[in-house]
């Protein structure tokens, strides 16, 4: 539906640009004919100064008409590029809101799995939870979701949100992520949630 509307808009603007271009060509042709007429008059008339002035005026009008057409064409070309980019972005992030709403469920799965790990006689429950979590993660991965690997990485403000800083456990961990409090996610290589991390100082 969005594509059809955009295509109609583009076709309409193309037709409008084409019609304005035809009008400008017609105007240019009329101005050129007027110039030729003035040239002929110039050879027969004693009022050459006035005719020369009229010729200069027509030349400036012709230049103005050509400049208007060039600006109009440039504006249309920019519009076409912008709508093409917006269409691509819309297709890539069409399910963004749905996926964002599922992220807390992924967090709950992770917490439940951690809580179960230390207990006895929960093997069947553990296996079931793992199957559900893996199935859900696999489905989201197919939709373009990617989990950030933040642990041990150099802190980047474009990917991470620093919750706090603690003394680094080793010299090489300074300025790096020493703990991840909440995972970050990318959708088609665009950040949809920053990773909440602890940074070594």
DSSP 41-107: HHHH-S-HHHHHHHHHHHHHHHHHHHHHHHHHHHHHHHHHHHHHHHHHHHHHTTTHHHHHHHHHHHH
Same domain, 26 and 73: yes
Same domain, 64 and 106: no
Q: Tell me: the pLDDT tens digits for 70-113?
A: 888 888 888 888 888 888 777 776 677 777 877 888 887 787 77
**Count of structural domains, the chain:** 2
Q: Where a domain ends, among 40, 63, 92?
A: 92
Q: What is the pTM of this model?
A: 0.47
Domain that holds residue 169: 96-200
Same domain, 123 and 66: no
Same domain, 144 and 158: yes
């Amino acid at each position: 539906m969005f594509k059809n509307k955009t295509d109609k808009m583009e076709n309409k603007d193309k037709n409008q640009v084409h019609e304005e271009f035809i009008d400008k060509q017609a105007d240019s042709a009329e101005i050129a004919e007027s110039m030729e007429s003035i040239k002929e008059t110039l050879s027969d008339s004693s009022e050459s100064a006035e005719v020369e002035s009229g010729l200069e005026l027509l030349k400036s009008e012709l230049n103005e008409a050509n400049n208007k057409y060039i600006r109009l064409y440039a504006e249309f070309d920019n519009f076409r590029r912008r709508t093409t980019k917006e269409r691509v972005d819309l297709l890539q992030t069409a399910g963004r809101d749905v996926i964002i709403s599922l992220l807390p469920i992924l967090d709950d799965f992770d917490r439940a799995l951690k809580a179960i790990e230390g207990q006895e006689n929960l093997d069947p429950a553990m296996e079931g939870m793992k199957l559900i979590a893996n199935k859900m993660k696999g489905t989201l991965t197919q939709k373009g979701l990617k989990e950030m690997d933040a642990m041990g990485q150099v802190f980047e403000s474009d990917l991470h949100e620093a919750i706090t800083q603690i003394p680094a456990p080793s010299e090489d961990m300074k300025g790096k992520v020493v703990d991840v409090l909440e995972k970050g996610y990318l959708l088609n290589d665009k950040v949809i949630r920053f990773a909440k991390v602890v940074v070594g100082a």
